[in-house]
Amino acid sequence: MPALIEASDLTKKYGAHVALDRANFSVEAGRIVGLIGPNGAGKTTALRAILGLTAYEGQLKVLGHEPFRERTALMHDACFIADVAVLPGWLRVDHAIDFVAGVHPRFRRDRALALLAKADITGERRMRELSKGMKTQVHLALTMAIDAKLLVLDEPTLGLDILARRAFYDALVNDYMDETRTILITTHQVEEVENLLTDVLFIDKGRIVLDSSLDDIATRYAAVAVAADNLDAARAEKPFHERPMLGKVVLYYEQPNLTKLASLGEVHALNVADLFVAKLSGGAE
């Protein structure tokens, strides 16, 4: 089975600024992929290209379509929330449901209504009367009621309080995700999505710097905290990053010799946030 998203040499320039610089990546079906990068790294540009919202150079196939030329066809099988709170203020909740039901062949009204009932949002209110969290819930209900193969979320919880963020991710994982779906999500709050991702793509300065599953990260990377007297021995094992912590130094390794490291200090697995910081800040902090 071919990958759901396949990008090779994906490039996007805004004048002299290169937002995407020959990025290569692919996303397989059934995964929850986090596209993670610092501000201005090209996350949003990559998503806009995938969704057909912007022209680009290079090759890009999403669900077999060229997104920019075939956005309409692509939107039958893919849906997205490109930002929170973009539902227009004048739109009534019930009208929004009627509209999507009218124009989207894969929309399931009963599911949308069930999700809205759960969030306690009633039909005749206008979006401008709803709080930001409620508006996000409405948008999510509309989107999750579409039987799409690909769901793309760009900073979906930006500006939401902790309760709304938790509700958002709970709904995503419990009510939506199954083996027929694929989710691509960007965020700069890595900790928040870490537990639900199956794969991560790190992007920096328009380039993909890491493309890995979380299982791979667990087996492939390790960190060890060593005291000063073991530091030279630890450095000899070629760490790619180190940072001081509570009088010790934590060193990060790729494909480490675990038995050797265990003799030097306390070994632990890397979480995505650690790896992200390490990969993007280079050698030492």
Partner 1 sequence: MSTAIWLLRREFWENRAIWMIPAVIGGCMILIALFGRVDLMSISAQVPRQAVGGGFLLAVGATFFVVMSVYSTWYLLDCLYADRKDRSVLFWKSMPISDTTTVLSKLATALVVIPAVYFAAADLTSLIMAFIVSVRSSSSIGGALWHADLWLQLQALWLYMIVTTALWYLPIAAYLLVVSAWARRAVMLWSILPPLALVLIERWFFDGHVIASKIGERLLGYPAQAFRDDPGSSSWVTTVVDDDAITTPASIWGFFNAGGFFSSADTWIGAAAGVALIACAVQLRTRRTEI
The contact set with partner 1 (CB under 8 A) reads: 48, 51, 53-55, 68, 71-73, 75-76, 79-83, 86-92, 95, 98-100, 102-105, 139, 143
How far apart CA 148 and CA 113 sit, in angstroms, is 17
Q: Are 91 and 126 in contact (CB under 8 A)?
A: yes
Q: How far is the CB of 176 from partner 1 (least distance, A)?
A: 16
Q: How far is the CB of 66 from partner 1 (least distance, A)?
A: 13
- Paired sense of beta strands 182-187 and 5-14, if any: unpaired
Q: Which residue has the tokens 């196939």?
A: 61
Name the residue nearer to partner 1 (CB basis): 90 or 162: 90
Q: How far is the CB of 154 from partner 1 (least distance, A)?
A: 9
Name the residue nearer to partner 1 (CB basis): 36 or 49: 49
Q: How far is the CB of 80 from partner 1 (least distance, A)?
A: 5
Name the residue nearer to partner 1 (CB basis): 152 or 234: 152
How far apart CA 219 and CA 193 sit, in angstroms, is 20
Q: How far is the CB of 2 from partner 1 (least distance, A)?
A: 22
- What is the Cα Rg of the chain in Å? 21
Q: How far is the CB of 257 from partner 1 (least distance, A)?
A: 49
**Could you count the other beta carbons within 10 Å of the beta carbon of residue 146?**
20
Name the residue nearer to partner 1 (CB basis): 80 or 221: 80
Q: Print burial letters for 162-197: b (CB count within 10 Å at least 16), e (below 16).
A: eebbebbbebbeeebbeeebbbbbbbeebebbbebb
Q: How far is the CB of 160 from partner 1 (least distance, A)?
A: 16
Name the residue nearer to partner 1 (CB basis): 158 or 209: 158
Q: How far is the CB of 251 from partner 1 (least distance, A)?
A: 43
Name the residue nearer to partner 1 (CB basis): 48 or 241: 48
Name the residue nearer to partner 1 (CB basis): 87 or 275: 87
Name the residue nearer to partner 1 (CB basis): 123 or 244: 123
